[in-house]
Amino acid sequence: MARPKGDPAAVRSMTIGVRVTDAEYALLQEKAATMAMSPAQWLREAALRRRLRSAPAPAINIEEYGKLARLSANLNQLVRGQSTKVGP
């Protein structure tokens, strides 16, 4: 009896080559073994399931964020000054 065919959309046909050092490979094997996975399975899970850090903000945005922070502080001081005044 032949094995039933799986979903063609679920077949992994693409390959990604990754070069690692001997030490990195040993670490990968160790981490995969602790999860009872092959190194390829572990890498796939790690890459697709984990959240990555946010991309760094472009330099122009960092400068603009600084300007915005200064404006925000000035506005806060003005509002605080108005709300603590007594009388007209």
Domain boundaries, the chain: 19-50, 57-88
Structure-token pair, residue 55: 């991309």
Residue type, 31: K
Alpha helices in 35-87 (DSSP H): 39-49, 59-84
Structure-token pair, residue 65: 């964020």
Residue type, 38: S
Q: Does pLDDT of 2 surpass 90? A: no
Residue type, 70: R
* Residue 42 CB coordination number (10 Å): 19
Q: What is the pTM of this model?
A: 0.51
* Residue 24 CB coordination number (10 Å): 11
pLDDT of residue 60: 77
Structure-token pair, residue 13: 């046909």
pLDDT of residue 52: 65
36-64 pLDDT, tens digit per residue, is 999 999 899 888 887 766 777 777 788 88
Q: Does pLDDT of 87 surpass 70? A: no
DSSP, collapsed to helix, strand or coil, labels residue 34 as: helix
